[in-house]
Each structure stands twice: as structure tokens, then as C-alpha cells.
Structure 1
Amino acid sequence: MLQGVLINIDVDNTEKAINFYTQALGLKVGRRSDSKFVELVGGSSPIYLLENETATLPFPKARQGRTYSRHWSPIHLDFVVSSIVKSKEQVLAAGAILEIDIRHEPYGKLATFSDPFGHGFCLIEFTGRGYDEIATTS
């Protein structure tokens, strides 16, 4: 049934988003249909930047329009990296905002950021057995 995962990120400026995500994560531009749809490749799943204006409704009965200031979402992205220290420097240089500095967890090192469009994300460097350090069998 499931054939894959696509990651869509709403932004208000695709060129600014291309610059951020290519510099921050080393992604490359794949396909584009116009300036409002850009595919980024280089990770385990493609990321699609979708340009949508501020205050436009994300669905017909939405109570609030899109906002690109910092906002909370129950879904966020974790980017797995080989060196969290180097990657932290790279995302900050690209324009990310550090929210929680590198901390050690049983499964690895984790830091929390927001991108220039208000979306939260984490960098994670797995150590030891990664999530197997905390996983239980069912």
C-alpha cells in the first residue's frame, strides 16, 4: 500500500528556502515546475518547497491563515547527521535559529532549531545503538 514518503514544506519565498535548505543541509535542487514548486534531493526522502503567501488558508475551513513566524506544529522533521557539532554550525550559518542547544540523550545527541519560515526541526546524531537504546520489544 504505502509506496514512499514525500515531505512538503510551505514557505513564502522559494528562492530564500532553496538557499537555506541547500546551504544548511547540503541538499540539491531536483525538479521544479515553476517558482512555487521546487524539489530538493539528497536525503532519504525528497523535500518539496511549496510557495504559499502569508495569511492564505491551508484548507477551506481553516480558522487561521498561514504564518511564517515561529509556530508550533505536532509534526516536525529530524535530520540525521554524522556530526551534530559541524551540522549545528552549518545550519546556523545558513540562517537557522537555535532553540535548544546540543543535549545528550540515551540514543544520541540532539539540538532543536527553527528555519527562516518558522518551522521547527531537529538535528540528531545517533550514538551507540541509536533508538534501539530506548526501544522495547512488543
Structure 2
Amino acid sequence: MKLSALTLIVPDYDAAIAYYCGTMGFVLELDIDQGDKRWVRIAPSKGAQTGFILARAASPEQTAAIGNQGAGRVWLFLESDDFAADHARLSAAGVRFEEDPRHEPYGTVAVFADAFGNRWDLIEYS
């Protein structure tokens, strides 16, 4: 078995696709209209083992969860093979980092929030 996808609750499919696939450089793998909703899968890169299903909030409870699926903690980890280049590219594209890069025993890391408030680590493991 493998973990193939996680759900990200978003306010709007097209805004989320524009942010993740435009600003962050992810790949749009699927966008299938299902009538009242869409099956949208994005991934950090072509062939990535794990991606995200973008789910448009459909209730007040789901709307309240946008950007808070990790309860305020970093809960998404974007692994990089070239931290400096990816940090520079994301910064230039408008990604808001909450801190300067730091070196930890496990690697180089910096926390950022996406356009919807989800907190991520950009990380290059040692």
C-alpha cells in the first residue's frame, strides 16, 4: 500500500488550482467535472507518489476548516532536493515564509503559509 493523496479543503477550485499550480509550481493531474463538484488532483511534481485532492468547502464546518486542517500547526511537508533554489523560486513567486531558513539536525527548513492559511515546511533533509 501507499499513501496516494490527502484532501485540502479550499474555498474555490479555480483559485486553488491557480495558486498551487501557478504560484507553487505544482502539476494539475486531474480535473473532472462531476456536476455539483469536481475531482481535482494536484501533485508537487509529475510522477509524485503523493498528491492532493482539492475539495471545495460545501458546509459552514468545512469553510471554517480552510487553512486550519492542521489545527494551527505545520502539517504539510514539501521536500526539496535543492532548498536554496526552491526557497528562492517560491519567494519570488509570492509565497510568504514565516521565518528565515534554519538548519536543524534533520535538515534545512523554513515554514510558510499557503494562500489559504495551511502551514507547510519547505525542507531539505540532511
State whether structure 2 residue 51 is matched by structure 1 residue 49: no
Against the structure 1 CA distance between its residues 11 and 4, is the aligned structure 2 distance closer, same or farther, given a 3 Å change threshold? same
What is the TM-score of this pair, normalised by structure 2?
0.76
Among the aligned pairs, what percent are the same residue? 24
Distance 2:121 2:56 in 1: 22
Amino acid at match of 2:52: I
**Residue 61 of structure 1: aligned partner:** none
Once the two structures are superposed, residues 92-134 of structure 1 have per-residue CA deviations (whole angstroms, 9 ceiling, x without a partner) of 334322112200011210000000001000100112xxxxxxx
Q: Which has the higher contact order (CA 8 A, sep 6+)?
A: 2
Cα root mean square deviation, aligned: 2.6
Max radius of gyration: which structure?
1
What is the TM-score of this pair, normalised by structure 1?
0.70
Amino acid at match of 1:38: V
Gaps in structure 1 of 5+ consecutive residues:
59-63, 128-138
Distance 2:74 2:119 in 1: 9
| Post-superposition offset of 1:83 | 1.5
SS in structure 2 at match of 1:86: helix
| Post-superposition offset of 1:87 | 1.2
**Residue 26 of structure 1: aligned partner:** 25
Count of aligned residue pairs for this structure pair:
119
Against the structure 1 CA distance between its residues 102 and 74, is the aligned structure 2 distance closer, same or farther, given a 3 Å change threshold? closer
**Residue 13 of structure 1: aligned partner:** 12
Tell whether the 8 Å contact from 2:74 to 2:111 is kept in structure 1 after alignment.
no
Gaps in structure 2 of 5+ consecutive residues:
none
